[in-house]
Structure 1
């Protein structure tokens, strides 16, 4: 039990909203490890209630703790901290605002809500001198939010790159390991429980985009919403893409990328936030992240490159991050302190995707006859795009040509692709992937 010379014996009351995989694990830890939490916090941590959709169902906890009235639960006098693990925008947004306006601290794992409403929630927390913690919103158990907010608060972060969606990483890993096409790998992920029956949020990049918005907001002290994130999913990635990637000693990953862009002439800064499948060299630290695991690489001026790796989803890993935040919020209640609030002083403009410098890896089907390769090269030259490597496989009308460019503005590369598709010299652009993790 807690040493009586520290903290207080006044209980810290906790309300949990939602009793799914994460909520059930949070409740279990609160009940089974009450003594340890008391010792760590400096006061008893007491579960006051759990909001569920319906009562009368056996859930393994006392029936008098269950309620369907979440709105009343979050403002109860005996509740100090509200844990939201429902997901979605409403009713969580209204419930969290109600809790913050009542002076309750909030712990949430809700990346979709935070990606669009962090500013509103942070302002409510500041106005009412309450804490808002959300470590579990990005990469599950992996501690990346707190390092960005606290450990690196005195440093200058230039880039955050990560694999932040376990479903898509599992699918892409399966495609590479078994030579399966996308649909086969997706079916396998669904059978194993790694993908939902409707996988749209994952495979189209929406989940990763929400997390990228949160990471960029923290890294660059700028409010970034999901709408600011350029997004592409993995549905167009083919077994052929992995085949050509292997020829360049690369693999394919869905990346969330947040970068600080500095104009060399003026010194003006913008940020680029984007999500898309990309080739990365096998020597890159993210290339070895397989299955449903997540990893985030942070590059800062003084700290250099830091990598955070681990389980990015699941009830127990996510609950671990929630409980970490809960302990921090409870300690602040005991010792009458507050955690760090929102830092959005920089308000850097968001660069359009067309201004971002990237490399392209293009897979073309061509008619192998005189003049075709010259015509392809000419379209790149017209737009000042330099070619780094060309690889041809096969002959005849279905020869395959792989073109890798040096860095160029996304707009110039996209215009080149469009021009190749419109030309009449027997060229079909089969796929285009960006190449990241190189210095060229």
Structure 2
């Protein structure tokens, strides 16, 4: 039962957008239940936003709306930062910490860039930073990495962590849509922003990969350390070729701690239809974690949306409010290592490469020899005539040639592909996809 003799724990909310508005609703509508869970009352004392006149929600008292964001940071016990971006979010978060407030945030871009700075500031001031909603929406992945698996050694994580791109690729696969049409559909349904660059270019997933690597490997990993490929180059032909081989294309975040150091990457990949990630549809997310003792773990659920993300935010608020009620803090972010980042040359995989070639004798043989000269072994070849495709200056048919390699290093592979693109009879832009499983 909440202790009514104590003053309520004050919560300040920065941002009243999709997630912010739902966070406010949960705090207001569930206030009595939350108080019972915490052991002390909780009170929303302010909602900072740029245009209070545009906020018209029945669960937000208009007297709580303010444009004085900095001031709100100094009069709350817990500050929830949901405005996004790097600045002014970083300034407000550090101000809240300096004022003695703990912080709950869903801001993956901020943490991927300035996470260690924020974690150190919080530890020095004796307050907490929680950010379950920054990775995977409603999926509880951050806390297991931060607390449940600290007695184990995490070696790798792989997963779908961006709902927008997963929806687009899913629509391309199930309905045969081109990328542009699938993107427009995602925007019309509210799954993609008007400017979808951060999603489709892989930047959102890269921010999450940096956070996952930082927590899992106890070493600072920045967004600047993550290599990124988006899905804008994925075509209907790529999807059709994958389907013919009983595979699907997914945008993956992959982080590993190997002999050569830490690798954090985001890229579209081919995965078999029997792989668990192949059945992750729509805006859902899923993450596999491999640890030495626990072995394989899978986390699955809603990766986006106002209410699901707000659920994770309020979960963090309750956790921190309990700490305040009990007069303690939670475990700090443990960054005791400074591991090197693995060089690109250390990245090895099986690759599927698709070329467009002139349908005439000898072209395949020259391509195969180019790969052999580079030390790349070919595991399979798939050819599919495309009579509707044409190359200016060439009257014959264009053939689609798909090569699947044995495991090789990426630098060598891309060098060989570049040489092939310069050969007579090879046209267009090649498609390069990794093969998982």
Short-chain TM bin: over 0.9
After TM superposition, give the deviation of residue 59 of structure 1 in Å: 3.5
**What's the counterpart of residue 300 of structure 2?**
309
1-structure distance, mates of 2:130, 2:374:
47
After TM superposition, give the deviation of residue 397 of structure 1 in Å: 4.4
**What's the counterpart of residue 85 of structure 1?**
82
**What's the counterpart of residue 357 of structure 2?**
366
After TM superposition, give the deviation of residue 68 of structure 1 in Å: 0.9
**What's the counterpart of residue 267 of structure 2?**
276
Q: CA offsets, 1:120-161, max 9 Å, x none?
A: 101110110100000000111000000111111111111111
After TM superposition, give the deviation of residue 9 of structure 1 in Å: 3.0
2-structure distance, mates of 1:115, 1:89:
10
2-structure distance, mates of 1:250, 1:231:
22
1-structure distance, mates of 2:360, 2:184:
41
**What's the counterpart of residue 150 of structure 1?**
147
Q: CA offsets, 1:376-410, max 9 Å, x none?
A: 11111122111111112239642221100111111
Q: CA offsets, 1:18-74, max 9 Å, x none?
A: 111111111111111111111111100111111121334544322221211011111
What's the secondary structure of 1:394's corresponding residue?
strand
Aligned residues, how many? 426
2-structure distance, mates of 1:416, 1:8:
73
Change (3 A) 1:385 1:347: same
Is the Cα–Cα contact under 8 Å of residues 143 and 321 in structure 1 kept in the other structure?
yes
- Structure 1 residues 62-101: aligned runs within 5 Å: 62-76=61-75, 79-101=76-98
**What's the counterpart of residue 344 of structure 1?**
335
Is the Cα–Cα contact under 8 Å of residues 417 and 429 in structure 1 kept in the other structure?
no
Of residues 27, 30, 38, the one that matches 2:27 is: 30
1-structure distance, mates of 2:318, 2:246:
45
**What's the counterpart of residue 381 of structure 2?**
390
Q: CA offsets, 1:358-390, max 9 Å, x none?
A: 221111222344432221111111221111111
What's the secondary structure of 1:123's corresponding residue?
helix
2-structure distance, mates of 1:46, 1:167:
34
Is the Cα–Cα contact under 8 Å of residues 393 and 399 in structure 1 kept in the other structure?
yes
2-structure distance, mates of 1:334, 1:388:
61
**What's the counterpart of residue 182 of structure 1?**
179
**What's the counterpart of residue 162 of structure 1?**
159
Change (3 A) 1:248 1:430: farther
2-structure distance, mates of 1:355, 1:333:
46
What's the secondary structure of 1:252's corresponding residue?
strand
- Structure 1 residues 18-417: aligned runs within 5 Å: 18-57=15-54, 58-60=56-58, 61-76=60-75, 79-262=76-259, 269-394=260-385, 397-417=397-417
Normalising by structure 1, we get a TM-score of 0.93
2-structure distance, mates of 1:43, 1:8:
9
**What's the counterpart of residue 266 of structure 1?**
none
Change (3 A) 1:21 1:394: closer
Is the Cα–Cα contact under 8 Å of residues 385 and 397 in structure 2 kept in the other structure?
no
Change (3 A) 1:56 1:391: closer
Q: CA offsets, 1:306-353, max 9 Å, x none?
A: 111111111100100001110111111111221121222222111233
After TM superposition, give the deviation of residue 430 of structure 1 in Å: 4.1
After TM superposition, give the deviation of residue 186 of structure 1 in Å: 0.8
- Which is worse superposed, 24-33 or 50-59? 50-59
Is the Cα–Cα contact under 8 Å of residues 352 and 435 in structure 2 kept in the other structure?
no
After TM superposition, give the deviation of residue 429 of structure 1 in Å: 5.8
Normalising by structure 2, we get a TM-score of 0.94
1-structure distance, mates of 2:258, 2:375:
21
What's the secondary structure of 2:436's corresponding residue?
coil
2-structure distance, mates of 1:343, 1:358:
31
Runs of 5+ unmatched residues, structure 1 = 263-268
2-structure distance, mates of 1:16, 1:116:
22
Is the Cα–Cα contact under 8 Å of residues 277 and 433 in structure 1 kept in the other structure?
no
2-structure distance, mates of 1:434, 1:365:
15
Runs of 5+ unmatched residues, structure 2 = 387-395
What's the secondary structure of 1:385's corresponding residue?
coil
What root-mean-square deviation, in Å, do the aligned CA atoms of Structure 1 and Structure 2 show?
A: 1.6
